[in-house]
Structure 1
Amino acid sequence: MGLTGGQAEERACRYLKGLGYEIVARNWRCRFGEIDVIAREGDVLVFVEVKARSANRFGGPEGAVDPTKQRRLAAAARRFIQKTGAELPARFDVVTFVGDSIRLYRDAFRID
């Protein structure tokens, strides 16, 4: 059986903390959507999407972060920055789980 969304996010936070990230928020919501994890890595604000699959049979979880999802995440990230007044450079990471394997895609996509 695969991880639930909440379990995957909890494991992702532990993993990111182990890499030196500071978790700022989890499951942050606005009218544009939800950001799974917001963290800082040094002087960079990192918006993290967490995806889990029990197997790779139908494509990896990273494929679920398609251009439409990227636009929604970017809009939500802009809103977070607006609401908090954060003045840090920002990037988007994706953490994926397939079975027991975890993978971090740093700077997974860019928004113009």
Structure 2
Amino acid sequence: MKNLLNNLVNKVTDHITNRDTHIHTIGYRGETAATRFLRKNNYRIIRRNLKFRLGEVDILARDPDGQTIVLIEVKSTAAADNAPPPEVHVNHDKQEKLITLAAIIQKKFNLQLHPLRIDVITVTFPDKITAQPTIRHHPNAVEIGQSHWL
């Protein structure tokens, strides 16, 4: 009986660990693909994974205009039939958190004189590991001062 219970605990632990590793791997790969996409489109990456008590900003960048500071939320997913688009994960609560993080960043880094916006980039990885992901960039997806999606 004790061995049966230990086996069950090990299987559950392995499943959770593998699932979490998979999620983090997809997230990391998505942020890396988004960073490459931004650089290719003349954005200057200031910082990745900027952590605060309230949460994390995936990418902080400077727009090609040279003035605008952009907070970028990256949502990544593996392609699957009937899966909702990754955009749905930027819900009202997430938008409010991003707006608050924008205010914190603006104050902490003394960026009050720079325009600031929040973009969302979605990265969908196809079933084939060698195929290129689909990247969608939604500039100004979350309006500062007003929370709504696209």
Same fold (TM over 0.5): yes
Map of 2:33 onto structure 1: 11
1:16-64, Cα deviation, whole Å (9 max, x unpaired): 0111100011111112211000001121110000011112523100110
Q: Distance in 2 between matches of 1:24 and 1:78?
A: 17
1:34 to 36, 53, 56: 56
Indicate the SS of the match to 1:4: helix
Which structure is larger by alpha-carbon Rg, 1 or 2? 2
Partners of 2:118 and 2:140 within 8 A in 1: yes
- 1:1-112 aligned within 5 A: 4-41=26-63, 42=65, 43-55=67-79, 57-86=82-111, 87-99=113-125, 100-112=133-145
Structure 1 runs of 4+ with >4 Å offset? none
| AA aligned opposite 2:139 | R
The one of the two structures with greater contact order (alpha-carbon pairs below 8 A, sep at least 6) is: 1
Give the SS at the match of 2:144: coil
Local SS of the residue matching 2:114:
coil
Higher strand share: 1
SS in 2 for 1:79: helix
Q: Which amino acid aligns with 2:76?
A: A
Query: How many residue pairs are counted as aligned between the two chains?
Result: 112
User: Could you tell me which amino acid in structure 1 is paired with residue 137 of structure 2?
Assistant: L
Write the distance in 1 (CA, Å) between the matches of 2:36 and 2:79: 22
Q: Report the TM-score, using the length of structure 1 for normalisation.
A: 0.92
SS at match of 1:50: strand
Percent identity for Structure 1 against Structure 2: 33
Greater share of residues in helix: 2
